[in-house]
């Protein structure tokens, strides 16, 4: 994916956090300037960005796992400052990095499993995402990456570590006020569904995934997170591999896209309900499907070349 696609993710998050935080922030989400910082209201501080999920946000965790799903070799990273492959499934940075930059926190958010991390590297947020992971526990198991359940375990460990560094009060502040990004479902829908199709049909499986997502968010809230942005499914039927499998014309798989939309339709109201039930929470559903689908259908409009899709 190009960095432009990531930029769209970013805009979606920025817009959602503006709508949801209910405060008059001077966000200029329309202006395509990556380096611009969002002006938050004076009484609102976001000390860190904490990411969970799959390859859309993994910033190098898989480098340290025994899995074949790694991106720590060229051409990955060709647009990353210093031009080296960090393990991000990207030519540059990932959405969690862009969000952190726009919030004025840091240019990149490090991978939790990076053995070179020092204590101070943990204080602007952290990234637990693992390429190939998903809401269905089977998804991470098949490709031997970190499941979302285990990402939560690492989060608990992380909380202990920051407490040891800055003390309980500051650590609690950090946990409560950081922005959490949750990005998954692509691998479940595009890969694991096939293995699950004896048990679930194409409407039941996205429903099951949406329930798993709500459960995940509930647990995350239970561990102290409050500002949680959960990304919608993307048009998975348009992933290059899915288009190749869909015949010589390489059209998007409508069946898979339908499942992604079903997931979004189920998840969105579930998150509204969860937010109402969870005092002090700002849980938001970040809709990215439509804009990504539009970009795929009208690449020229977005100044993108067709050959990258």
Is residue 14 a contact partner of residue 61, using CB atoms and an 8 Å limit?
Answer: no
Residue 154 Cβ vs ligand NAG, minimum distance, rounded to whole Å: 27
**178 annotated active-site:** no
Is residue 138 a contact partner of residue 60, using CB atoms and an 8 Å limit?
Answer: no
Tell me which residue of 212, 240, 232 sits closest to 89, measured CA to CA.
240
Tell me which residue of 201, 214, 303 sits closest to 259, measured CA to CA.
201
d(CA 233, CA 215): 16
Q: Does 202 bind ligand NAG (CB under 6 A)?
A: yes
Q: Does 203 bind ligand NAG (CB under 6 A)?
A: yes
Q: Does 39 bind ligand NAG (CB under 6 A)?
A: no
Peptide bond into 75 cis (omega under 30): yes
Q: Does 204 bind ligand NAG (CB under 6 A)?
A: yes
251: Cα separation from own chain's centroid: 26
Residue 98 Cβ vs ligand NAG, minimum distance, rounded to whole Å: 23
**Closer residue to ligand NAG (CB): 158 or 221:** 221
Catalytic residue (one of 55, 59, 130, 253): 55
Residue 41 Cβ vs ligand NAG, minimum distance, rounded to whole Å: 6
Which of 43, 82, 169, 247 is in the footprint of ligand NAG by CB under 6 A? Answer: 43
Q: What is the C-alpha end-to-end distance of the chain, expressed in Å?
A: 8
Helix axes 148-166, 168-177, angle to 10 degrees: 140
Residue 43 Cβ vs ligand NAG, minimum distance, rounded to whole Å: 4
**Closer residue to ligand NAG (CB): 41 or 81:** 41
Taking CB under 6 A as the rule, which mask of x and - marks residues 11-30 in contact with ligand NAG?
------------x-------
Active-site residues, by number, are 55
Residues that bind ligand NAG (CB under 6 A): 23, 41, 43-44, 201-204
């Amino acid at each position: 994916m190009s960095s432009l696609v990531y930029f769209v993710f970013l805009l979606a998050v920025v817009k959602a956090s503006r709508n949801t935080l209910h405060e008059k922030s001077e966000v200029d989400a329309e202006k395509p300037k990556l380096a611009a910082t969002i002006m938050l209201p004076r009484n609102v501080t976001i000390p860190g960005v904490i990411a969970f999920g799959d390859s859309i946000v993994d910033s190098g965790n898989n480098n340290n796992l025994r899995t074949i799903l790694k991106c720590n070799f060229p051409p990955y990273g060709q647009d990353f400052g210093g031009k080296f492959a960090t393990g991000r499934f990207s030519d540059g940075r990932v959405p969690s990095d862009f969000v952190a930059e726009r919030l004025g926190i840091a240019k990149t958010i490090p991978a939790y499993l990076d053995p070179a991390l020092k204590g101070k590297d943990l204080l602007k947020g952290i990234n637990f995402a693992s390429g190939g992971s998903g809401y269905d526990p089977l998804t991470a198991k098949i490709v031997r990456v970190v499941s979302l359940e285990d990402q939560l375990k690492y989060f608990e460990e992380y909380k202990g570590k920051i407490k040891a560094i800055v003390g309980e009060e500051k650590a609690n502040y950090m946990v409560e006020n950081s922005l959490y990004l949750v990005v998954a479902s692509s691998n479940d829908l595009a890969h694991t569904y096939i293995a699950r199709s004896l048990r679930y049909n194409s409407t039941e499986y996205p429903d099951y995934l949406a329930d798993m997502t709500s459960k995940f968010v509930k647990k995350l809230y239970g561990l102290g997170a409050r500002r949680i942005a959960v990304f919608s499914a993307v048009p998975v039927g348009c992933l290059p591999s899915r288009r190749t499998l869909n015949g010589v014309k390489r059209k998007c798989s409508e069946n898979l896209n339908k499942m992604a939309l079903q997931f979004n339709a189920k998840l969105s109201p579930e998150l509204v309900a969860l937010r109402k039930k969870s005092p002090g929470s700002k849980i938001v559903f970040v809709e990215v499907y439509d804009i990504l689908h539009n970009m795929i259908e009208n690449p020229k409009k977005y100044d993108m070349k067709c050959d990258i899709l």
